[in-house]
Chain A
Amino acid sequence: MNGILNLGYCSLRAWLRERITLFWSLFFPVFLLILLGVIFGGGDGEGYMRFHIGLVNLDRDAEHKAFAGLVEAAFAELAHRAEEYRDQLFILTRPTEGEDAEEFLLAEREALRQGQRAAVVVIPAGFSEEVFRAMHGTPGSLQAEVKVLYGHGDASSELAASIVEQVLTRLERELLIQAELYDPQQEVRVDASWVGTADGAARYIDFLLPGVILMAFLTNGLFGVPGSILYARDQRILRRYWVTPLTVRRYLIGFSLSMLGMCALQLGILWALGRWAFGAQVQLAAPAPVLYLLLSAVTFLALGFLISSVAKTANAGMAIANILNMPLLFLSGIFFPVTGLPVVLQALVYSNPVTYLVDGMRASLGVGTGQVPLWATVTVPLLWIALAAAVAGRRLQWDVDR
């Protein structure tokens, strides 16, 4: 036991003395957090995530305009309600008194194109009429449509669009209730309707921090494991252990402990920085987030062992890690939501364990929209761990061949 702990401690000490490790495992994530935090979080004064949304009503139906008004009111209330808080999620832009709606829409489209609007909500002409007819026609056939324009491929825009959609879902339910068509059995469950913490505030730093922490963990697993194990094997450092009573199993436990120690260190530094420098409020110390953090660390450790099993040398291991690093990071939603990708890339997104871990992590912190089912956020990483364990158990070489 003493040997295992000392081994873990020594691995960690040795690791922290290496400049290249310090850079990628500690300095780089800290740098990235500061950079993104300052650029995207600091822009609005206090780092709150805000969506500028345009709202235009093209419906001039005087008779039933109450329905279009209902939609307008819902968004207005949304913006207003947020104003009561220190932090405002939506900033709503509407045509001024007497301004031509069509012209306003053109201007808003241009603003959307330039990235000044996250989304533009359009109530089309005849909307109220449609609602009215639907309400008095066949039950359950509400077909009126509100258009949501958003910038395709723009992270904040897509995020805003998904929130707007949820608002509309809620609205739809209200309309159904008004139309007395509401059937409790058909209730569309609306949860996680806010991107933000419990009080409704969405802060970019709260969205970013869990992502950067997972990225730092991923670096340990991808680069740290093959880098340490294959180097130690090729340099006959491991062989020196095998002529003592130390077994591979005990070495493995000690080594994994050093990895988890490194993760704990990164977590502490990034969390402290996020909290004190950027005012992050995410509650990482709750059971569910801690579980996801641990699951992430172990999954990435397993990926590292998987790479170590197929790479012949430390250099080959690093090359494989480099090749995998980019897709694992950028096809996962760590930094921005991944939607609307070609099928091939989507397949990569959905086989990527990081996708599930970051999604589950954010959902547990209340800062994500939950793009994959909750059960998958645990089972998919577990499948990867099982795969890695099976391959490493069979193929990982613990000593150089002659």
Chain B
Amino acid sequence: MDSLSEVLLSVQGLYKSYGSVRAVRGISFRVQRASVFTILGPNGAGKTTTLEILEGIRAADAGEIELFGHKTRRVTERMKQRMGVLLQDGNFEPYLKVREVLSLFSCFFERALPVDEVLERVALTSKTGALVRTLSGGQRQRLAVGVALINDPELIFLDEPTTGLDPQARRNLWRIFQELQDAGKTVILTTHYMEEAEALSDHVCIMDHGTIIAEGSPEELARGLGQDSIIEFELPHMEAAALAPLREFGSAVEHRNGSVVIHAPKLTEAMSGLLSWARAHGIALTNLAVRQPNLEDVFLSLTGRRLRE
């Protein structure tokens, strides 16, 4: 088999319920070696549950997993030797020092990288002697990434790695993730940040209500919306009826959360029409933007909702 197209993980018909809540409803997907596979979806879509099953801390109700070439119902310790995990809500003992945490976790694996090398990779060299409880949110997350990398894993799970971080801290993490990608690691990422998925992913699957509703590379998915351009502007107060003339220029016109989104197959005509409409109604077209469709638009057109609502 060609190593480029080698499948590292394949999941078939995965089900998981919590009581009457059906969190994951029979999803199937495949992850290629040395790719970044992203599960994109809003909160409660079933992303974390899917990951927790693959990480080995939850048992699936039904379904088949094939990981590292072995079929299994539950992830084994042998498999965990080759996996690195960044949990969404994982924590470390607050009264341990950064170096102690890393050396502790390195002991759990048969093979581990030198602690100093990992410290450098996640830019925590200046914090080795600091207690976990004194770290900032971004530093704590970098430590979590360091712990996930301590065993030099082939497969890395990153569950919502940048949620709640400031833009600077987020960019720092993206840099580390891109290095993983360059090193040929396989990464499974979940996020509800569309920009994150676009910046990092080779392959995206969009999840909603426990099912996969679309799958492909970010470009493929966006292309699925056709060659439409997206026109967007802010419009806080407007009767829906007043927007009616705009439908002439767009395949879809949405008015949500105080902004209007027009999917325009013919950009020039749509723009000139929009300008005369704006002049006629005395509208300022605040923050007018024209752009190519992105994953957010894909999600919007598939579900009628935005990712973060």
The residues of A with any CB-CB pair to B shorter than 8 Å are 2-3, 6-7, 10-11, 13-15, 17-18, 232, 235-237, 239-247, 399, 402
> Is B109 interfacial (CB-CB < 8 Å)?
yes
Please give, as numbers and ranges, the residues of chain B lying within 8 Å of A239 by CB-CB distance: 57, 87, 89-90
B57 touches A242 (CB 8 A): yes
Please give, as numbers and ranges, the residues of chain B lying within 8 Å of A2 by CB-CB distance: 107
The residues of B with any CB-CB pair to A shorter than 8 Å are 18, 55-57, 77-78, 80-81, 83, 85, 87, 89-96, 100, 103-105, 107-110, 131, 147, 151
- What's the nearest-Cβ distance from chain B to residue A168, in Å? 57
Dominant secondary structure of chain A at its interface with chain B? helix
Please give, as numbers and ranges, the residues of chain A lying within 8 Å of B94 by CB-CB distance: 14
- What's the nearest-Cβ distance from chain A to residue B101, in Å? 8
Q: A236-B87, A237-B91, A240-B147 are in contact. List 13 more A-B contacts (CB 8 A).
A: A3-B107, A6-B107, A7-B104, A10-B93, A18-B95, A236-B91, A242-B56, A243-B56, A243-B80, A245-B80, A246-B108, A247-B77, A402-B18
Closest to A10 in B: B104
Instruction: Kindly state the separation between the CA atoms of A237 and B133 in the bound complex, as whole angstroms.
Output: 13
Q: Can you report 26 A-B residue pairs in the complex whose CB atoms are below 8 A from each other? A: A3-B108, A7-B104, A17-B131, A18-B95, A236-B89, A236-B91, A237-B91, A237-B93, A239-B57, A239-B87, A240-B87, A240-B90, A240-B91, A241-B108, A242-B57, A243-B56, A243-B57, A243-B80, A243-B90, A244-B85, A244-B105, A244-B151, A245-B77, A245-B78, A245-B81, A245-B109
Instruction: Kindly state the separation between the CA atoms of A235 and B107 in the bound complex, as whole angstroms.
Output: 22
B95 touches A244 (CB 8 A): no
Please give, as numbers and ranges, the residues of chain A lying within 8 Å of B151 by CB-CB distance: 244
- What's the nearest-Cβ distance from chain B to residue A22, in Å? 11
Please give, as numbers and ranges, the residues of chain B lying within 8 Å of A244 by CB-CB distance: 80, 85, 105, 108-109, 151
Please give, as numbers and ranges, the residues of chain B lying within 8 Å of A13 by CB-CB distance: 95-96, 100
Please give, as numbers and ranges, the residues of chain B lying within 8 Å of A18 by CB-CB distance: 95
- What's the nearest-Cβ distance from chain A to residue B78, in Å? 8
- What's the nearest-Cβ distance from chain B to residue A257, in Å? 14
Closest to A402 in B: B18
B92 touches A240 (CB 8 A): yes
Please give, as numbers and ranges, the residues of chain B lying within 8 Å of A402 by CB-CB distance: 18
A14 touches B77 (CB 8 A): no
- What's the nearest-Cβ distance from chain B to residue A38, in Å? 33
Closest to A398 in B: B57
Closest to B96 in A: A14
Task: Give the contacting residue for B95; candidates A7, A17, A242; CB below 8 A.
Answer: A17
Instruction: Kindly state the separation between the CA atoms of A235 and B93 in the bound complex, as whole angstroms.
Output: 9
Please give, as numbers and ranges, the residues of chain A lying within 8 Å of B80 by CB-CB distance: 243-245
A6 touches B104 (CB 8 A): yes
Please give, as numbers and ranges, the residues of chain A lying within 8 Å of B89 by CB-CB distance: 236, 239
- What's the nearest-Cβ distance from chain A to residue B176, in Å? 18
Q: Beyond A7-B104, A10-B100, is A236–B90 a contact (Cβ under 8 Å)?
A: yes
Instruction: Kindly state the separation between the CA atoms of A239 and B92 in the bound complex, as whole angstroms.
Output: 10
- What's the nearest-Cβ distance from chain B to residue A235, in Å? 5
Instruction: Kindly state the separation between the CA atoms of A163 and B78 in the bound complex, as whole angstroms.
Output: 65
Please give, as numbers and ranges, the residues of chain B lying within 8 Å of A236 by CB-CB distance: 87, 89-91
Please give, as numbers and ranges, the residues of chain B lying within 8 Å of A243 by CB-CB distance: 55-57, 80, 83, 85, 87, 90
A245 touches B93 (CB 8 A): no
Instruction: Kindly state the separation between the CA atoms of A3 and B107 in the bound complex, as whole angstroms.
Output: 5
- What's the nearest-Cβ distance from chain A to residue B54, in Å? 10
- What's the nearest-Cβ distance from chain A to residue B82, in Å? 10
